[in-house]
Amino acid sequence: MAPTLYMIETSTSTRAVLMVAKALGVEITKHYLDITAGEHLTPEFLKLNPQHTVPTLVEEDGKVLWDGHAIVLYLVDKYGKDNFLYPNDSYTRAIIHQMFYFEAEYLFPPLSKITKNMFYGNGKIDPNLLDDMGEAYGILEKLLEGHLWAVGNETTLADFSIISIITTMDMVLPIDSKTFPNIRAWIKRVENLPCYKENIPGLRVYKKVLKKYLK
């Protein structure tokens, strides 16, 4: 029986999990939550995840995990072969974790605040948050310098974790190819991976939401 992923399509970490699962050949049963209806706050879901966040993974034996980074590390450790996406080298793994922290500390916060304002605020974008996004783009541009992928010259978990959020940010603050050529080239490489298609439905939904709230 396949593990169940409680999710919403617009969640960047959910899309990262779906891409990693696809790359590993892991079948996932998708359980869509209606956040607007409060399905993430039901007693049943709170029993699974007191933080009431998505994605949340539930294995057939009852094991529960939440946080996208924790889930992809678990999936690759349990289902991965030949250290695919998570090389055994300790330094490479440390850099993958470093990229996770970069994503969580620099990429996610401004996008998260803008998204919450679309749903619960006045729908306007704070220019300071756009400045934060631009600064994060500049750091990522440097981090990608001299190699093909987020960590070295092989695809790793870091690529999927970051691509889901950077392609979403691109809808809010377009990434200029002249200013950020490394980012644009890297995005293209990830888009050519077969598992990237798992990122597309969520991006389409986010685009519709963006147009609705930012008319």
Q: Which residue has the tokens 């959910």?
A: 14
Cis preceding linkage at 55, omega within 30:
yes
Q: Give me the sign of the Cα torsion angle 89, 90, 96, 99.
A: negative
Longest CA pairwise span in the chain (Å): 50
Q: Which of 197, 177, 83, 88 is nearest to 137 (CA)?
A: 177
Long-range contacts of 59-66 (CB under 8 A, 24+ apart): 59/3, 60/1, 60/2, 60/3
- Write out the E strands in the chain: 4-7, 29-32, 56-58, 64-66
Pick the catalytic residue from 11, 13, 161, 164: 11
Whether 31 and 42 have beta carbons less than 8 Å apart is answered as: no
Task: For residue 11, indicate whether it is catalytic.
Answer: yes
Query: Active-site residue numbers?
Result: 11
